[in-house]
């Protein structure tokens, strides 16, 4: 039974590591996309000094900064979890299984939130630029 639990948990560890790699790639893409959006905002602000426009531009700039910070926190949490999974003892891994699963679920939910929220922000920003240019 212990062997069966160990192999099952080892399979989960492999899946978690796969998710971490996927999430790291996604975060890198979002960081690049966010940098692109900030650059685009800067270009547009240089050409438009309308007070209402500048107020909304500041709103978007703040949102982009918040997204960068959130992505940095997620990357840190993912790296931390990845390091925790490298525990050498099999019995220690099994003991940590429930704790790991709870953290994995939390990370998965945060990543899902970021995906939806970042895409929504990017779409709102692009629609706004089209409306003012």
- pTM for the complete prediction? 0.85
Say if residue 11's pLDDT is above 90. no
Q: Residue 87: is its pLDDT beyond 90?
A: no
Is pLDDT larger for residue 32 or for residue 100? 32
- Both tokens assigned to 126: 């692009």
39: its two tokens: 């650059």
Of 55 and 100, the structure prediction assigns the larger pLDDT to 55
Q: Say if residues 103 and 81 touch (Cβ distance below 8 Å).
A: yes
- How far is 133 from 131, CA to CA, in rounded Å? 6
Contacts of 2 (CB under 8 A, 6+ apart): none
**For residues 64 and 38, what is the distance between their CA atoms, to the nearest angstrom?**
7
């Amino acid at each position: 039974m212990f062997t069966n639990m160990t192999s099952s948990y080892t399979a989960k560890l492999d899946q978690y590591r796969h998710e971490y790699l996927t999430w790291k790639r996604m975060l890198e893409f979002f960081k690049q996309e966010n940098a692109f959006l900030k650059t685009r905002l800067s270009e547009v602000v240089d050409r438009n000094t309308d007070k209402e426009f500048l107020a909304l531009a500041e709103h978007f700039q703040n949102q982009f900064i918040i997204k960068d910070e959130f992505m940095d926190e997620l990357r840190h949490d993912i790296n931390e979890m990845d390091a925790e999974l490298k525990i050498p003892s099999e019995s220690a891994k099994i003991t940590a299984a429930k704790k790991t699963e709870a953290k994995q679920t939390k990370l998965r939910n945060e990543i899902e939130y970021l995906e939806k929220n970042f895409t929504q922000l990017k779409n709102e920003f692009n629609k706004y630029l089209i409306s003012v240019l």
